[in-house]
C-alpha cells in the first residue's frame, strides 16, 4: 500500500478487501458521466483509475462545470461494491467504487482542488494528435497511460540491466559529462569555460576513452547507463542526446563479450515481453552481409538473398550487363521477389525507387507459365540466348508470378541498391513476419574506409579498434589498408544496428601507427589523445567493449516508429525542445562572462 499522510490509497489499489473503508484519494479527473442523475467520476493517477460517485452536494458542481477533465482533486468517500452488472474486469479496481465522495477539506494545506485550463488535446488520445503539439505540452502527453507505460518499461529495463550485470561482477561507474573535445565522426557539442576564456569542454559522444582508462585502472568489468551527445542530423532513430548501455571488459575475446550481451538481451526480452530468446545469436561476417543482403545491418526476419550472376551473363547481348561485367569491380546482381504478380505500374514504381537509391535503372524478368513450363518474360529477353535463359531458370528456380530484378554497376553500388530494393520488396509483399525478432552479430568490419573527398583513409568505426592481426601483418607492409579487417562487431535487431563495439588496441605503438595512417601526426595525436597514450605506458590489459542503444532497443521491443516515444522529454527533428523552447538566446552579460561574441 502506498498510503501517505495525504492519501490513504492510490487510484489503482482499492479492491473488494477495502469495502466499507473510508478512503482519501488524489488524482486527475479522467471522465465525468451523468447516468440519470447519478454523477460518476473516474479519478486517475499513475497507478490506475477508480470510479467515484458524487455526493448530493457535489452533483451541481460537476454538472455545472466547476470540475472538468484534468482537474487535480482530492476526495474522501466510502468504498462499496459496484452494483451487479456494472463491474469493469479490465480495471484492477473494477469491482468497487468510492461512494458519496466529497472534495477533501483543507487540512494543514494538504487538500487539493487545482483546476485545469481547456486542453489542447484529449489526454487519453494524445498519440492521435500532432507530434509537435504533443511535445509542446509534453506534461499532458505524459499523463496518457499508454505513453506512461513506455517510461515504466524503460525503468524496468534499467533495473533488469543492473541486476543482470551485477550478477556477472560488473561495476557501475559514472564518467564525466564535461570532457575534452576529440572530434572523430559526429560533431561535438561544445561548452565554453568561464574560468578559462577561449577554451571549451565537449559533451561526450560516448565514454569511450574513460572506459578504456578504467580497464587500465584494473576495474576489469565496467558498465554505465550513459547519457551521450552528438550534434548530427536527426531522424526517427536519432536524438541529439541519447542513452546507451556502455560496457567494457578486460582479458577477453569477442566470444566472452557476445555471451554477456546475449545474457542481457535474454533478460530484457523475458522481463519486458515474456519471450525466451534463443542464444547464441547467429554471426555473419561483414563481407557476406554485404554480398548476400546489401547491408551491414541486414533484416533477417525474411530471406531474399542477393545473387551474383556476373559469370552467367558474360556472353549475353544486353549491353548494360556486358559493360558492367567488363569493369574491374563490376557485377550483375539479382534478387527474386516471390509471388510479386507485378504489373507494369508496379515495375515502374520499383524502378523509380531503385534510381533514388543510386541505380541507373532496373532490369527484370517475370516468371510466366507456358505450356512448356515456367519461362522468363521481359523486354530484354531477346538479348539472351535460350542457353543463358535456361541457365538463369536453373539458377533462380522461379515459380510462376515471381519477379527477378537486376542491377548492373560497380559491385558496392549494386549491393547497396539491391539491399534497399530487398527491404522495399519485403514491405510491398508483406514478407516480414509480424511481432518477430531476429538478432545477428555482424563481424569482421573493415578497419579503414577511404574518404574520397579528403583523399585519405579514416577509421571505419573509431581509431581505438584493434585490427585483425593476421590481416595487419599481411597487408600493412604493402599499404593495402582496404583489405585489413578489424575486430569490430555490431549487434543487429530486425535490420537496426542496436549495439556497436570492438576489441580495443592496448599497445601504445600500434595505437600511434593507427593515428598516423588516418592522418594524425604525432603532435595532433598527443594533443587529442595524449592522456590515453600515457595511460598505455603503464601496463594496459587486453580489453574490449560495446555500447547498446537503450532508446532504440526499447522502441523496437514496443513496436514504436520513433525513439521519441520512449524518451521523457525529447527534441524534435530540428533539435529543439518545443516545451522549453531550448535552445534559446542568452543574456549579453552571460556571453561577456564567457568571453564570447555571437556573430
Alpha carbon distances (Å) from 356 to 234, 352, 453? 20, 6, 22
Q: What pLDDT shows up at residue 107?
A: 46
Q: Residues spanned by CATH 2.40.50.140 within the chain?
A: 16-114
Q: pLDDT tens per residue, the chain (599 residues)?
A: 566 678 999 999 999 999 999 999 999 999 999 887 789 999 999 999 999 998 887 887 777 778 889 999 999 999 999 999 999 999 999 999 999 988 875 445 556 788 899 999 999 999 999 999 999 999 999 999 999 999 999 999 999 999 999 999 999 999 999 999 976 667 899 999 999 999 999 999 999 999 999 999 999 999 999 999 999 877 767 899 999 999 999 999 999 999 999 999 999 999 999 999 999 999 999 999 999 999 999 999 999 999 999 999 988 999 999 999 999 999 999 999 999 999 999 999 999 999 999 999 999 999 999 988 999 999 999 999 999 999 999 999 999 999 999 999 999 999 999 999 999 999 999 999 999 999 999 999 999 999 999 899 999 999 999 999 999 999 999 999 999 999 999 999 999 999 999 999 999 999 999 999 999 999 999 999 999 999 999 999 999 999 999 999 999 999 998 999 999 999 998 999 999 999 999 999 999 999 998 88
Please list, residue by residue across 318-336, b when 16 or more beta carbons sit within 10 angstroms of its beta carbon and e when fewer do: bebbbebbeeeebbbbbbb
Task: Quote the Cα angle for 530-531-535, to 5°.
Answer: 115
Task: Please give the DSSP secondary-structure letter assigned to residue 188.
Answer: P
In the beta sheet, which residues pair with residue 408?
A: 332
SS3 85: coil
Give phi and psi for 223, each to the nearest 5.
Answer: -145, 160
The answer to whether the beta carbons of residues 284 and 440 sit under 8 Å apart is yes
Closest Cα to residue 573, out of 98, 237, 133? 237
Q: What pLDDT shows up at residue 385?
A: 94
Q: Residues spanned by CATH 3.30.930.10 within the chain?
A: 147-285+438-567
Which pTM was predicted?
Answer: 0.93
Name 35's Cβ contacts closer than 8 Å, sequence gap at least 6: none
At the fourth CATH level, which superfamily is domain 147-285+438-567? Bira Bifunctional Protein; Domain 2 (3.30.930.10)
> Cα–Cα distance between 424 and 129 in angstroms, integer?
28
Q: What pLDDT shows up at residue 372?
A: 87
SS3 489: strand
The answer to whether the beta carbons of residues 366 and 378 sit under 8 Å apart is yes
Question: CATH assignment of 302-428?
Answer: 3.30.1360.30
Q: What pLDDT shows up at residue 186?
A: 78
Selected from 1.10.730.10, 1.10.1380.10, 3.40.50.10470, 2.40.50.140, the CATH number assigned to the domain covering 16-114 reads: 2.40.50.140
Amino acid at each position: 500500500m502506498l498510503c501517505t499522510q495525504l492519501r490513504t490509497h492510490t487510484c489503482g489499489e482499492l479492491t473488494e478487501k477495502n469495502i466499507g473503508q473510508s478512503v482519501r484519494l488524489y488524482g486527475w479527473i479522467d471522465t465525468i458521466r451523468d447516468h440519470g442523475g447519478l454523477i460518476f467520476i473516474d479519478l486517475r493517477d499513475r497507478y490506475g483509475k477508480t470510479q467515484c460517485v458524487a455526493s448530493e452536494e457535489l452533483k451541481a458542481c460537476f454538472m455545472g462545470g466547476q470540475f472538468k477533465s484534468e482537474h487535480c482533486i482530492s476526495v474522501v468517500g466510502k468504498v462499496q461494491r459496484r452494483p451487479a452488472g456494472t463491474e469493469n474486469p479490465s480495471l484492477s479496481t473494477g469491482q468497487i467504487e468510492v461512494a458519496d465522495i466529497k472534495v477533501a477539506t483543507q487540512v494543514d494545506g494538504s487538500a487539493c482542488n487545482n483546476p485545469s485550463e481547456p486542453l489542447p488535446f484529449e489526454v487519453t488520445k494524445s498519440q492521435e494528435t500532432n507530434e509537435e503539439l504533443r511535445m509542446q505540452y509534453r506534461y499532458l502527453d505524459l499523463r496518457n497511460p499508454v505513453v506512461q507505460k513506455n517510461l515504466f518499461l524503460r525503468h524496468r529495463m534499467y533495473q533488469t540491466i543492473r541486476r543482470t550485470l551485477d550478477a556477472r561482477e560488473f561495476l557501475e561507474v559514472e564518467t564525466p559529462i564535461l570532457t575534452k573535445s576529440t572530434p572523430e565522426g559526429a560533431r561535438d557539442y561544445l561548452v565554453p569555460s568561464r574560468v578559462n576564456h577561449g577554451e571549451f569542454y565537449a559533451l561526450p559522444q560516448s565514454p569511450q576513452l574513460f572506459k578504456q582508462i578504467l580497464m587500465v585502472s584494473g576495474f576489469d568489468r565496467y558498465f554505465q547507463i550513459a547519457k551521450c551527445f552528438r550534434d548530427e542530423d536527426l531522424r526517427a532513430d536519432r536524438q541529439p542526446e541519447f542513452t546507451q548501455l556502455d560496457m567494457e571488459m578486460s582479458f577477453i575475446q569477442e566470444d566472452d563479450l557476445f555471451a554477456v550481451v546475449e545474457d542481457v538481451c535474454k533478460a530484457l526480452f523475458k522481463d519486458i515481453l515474456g519471450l525466451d530468446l534463443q542464444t547464441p545469436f547467429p554471426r555473419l561476417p561483414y563481407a557476406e552481409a554485404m554480398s548476400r543482403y546489401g547491408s551491414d545491418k541486414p533484416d533477417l526476419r525474411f530471406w531474399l538473398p542477393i545473387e551474383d550472376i556476373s559469370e552467367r551473363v558474360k556472353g549475353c547481348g544486353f549491353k548494360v550487363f556486358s559493360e558492367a561485367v567488363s569493369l574491374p569491380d563490376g557485377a550483375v546482381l539479382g534478387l527474386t521477389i516471390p509471388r510479386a504478380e507485378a504489373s507494369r505500374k508496379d515495375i515502374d514504381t520499383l524502378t523509380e525507387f531503385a534510381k533514388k537509391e543510386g541505380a541507373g535503372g532496373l532490369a527484370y524478368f517475370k516468371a510466366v507459365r507456358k505450356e512448356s513450363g515456367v519461362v522468363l518474360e521481359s523486354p530484354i529477353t531477346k538479348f539472351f540466348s535460350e542457353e543463358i535463359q535456361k541457365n538463369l531458370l536453373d539458377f533462380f528456380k522461379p515459380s510462376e508470378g515471381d519477379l527477378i530484378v537486376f542491377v548492373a554497376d560497380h559491385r558496392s553500388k549494386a549491393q547497396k541498391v539491391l539491399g534497399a530494393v530487398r527491404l522495399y520488396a519485403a514491405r510491398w509483399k508483406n514478407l516480414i513476419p509480424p511481432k518477430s525478432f531476429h538478432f545477428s552479430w555482424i563481424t569482421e568490419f573493415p578497419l579503414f574506409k577511404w574518404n574520397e573527398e579528403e583523399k585519405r583513409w579514416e577509421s571505419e568505426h573509431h581509431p581505438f579498434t584493434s585490427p585483425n592481426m593476421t590481416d595487419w601483418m599481411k597487408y600493412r607492409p604493402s599499404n593495402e589498408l582496404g583489405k585489413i579487417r578489424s575486430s569490430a562487431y555490431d549487434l543487429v535487431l530486425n535490420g537496426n544496428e542496436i549495439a556497436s563495439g570492438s576489441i580495443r588496441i592496448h599497445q601504445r605503438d600500434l595505437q600511434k601507427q593507427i593515428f598516423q595512417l588516418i592522418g594524425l601526426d604525432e603532435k595532433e595525436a598527443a594533443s587529442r589523445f595524449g592522456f590515453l597514450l600515457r595511460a598505455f605506458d603503464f601496463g594496459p590489459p587486453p580489453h574490449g567493449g560495446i555500447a547498446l542503444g537503450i532508446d532504440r532497443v526499447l522502441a523496437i521491443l514496443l513496436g514504436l516508429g520513433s525513439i521519441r516515444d520512449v524518451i521523457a522529454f525529447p527534441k524534435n527533428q530540428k533539435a529543439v525542445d518545443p516545451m522549453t523552447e531550448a535552445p534559446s538566446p542568452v543574456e549579453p552579460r552571460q556571453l561577456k562572462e564567457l568571453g564570447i561574441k555571437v556573430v
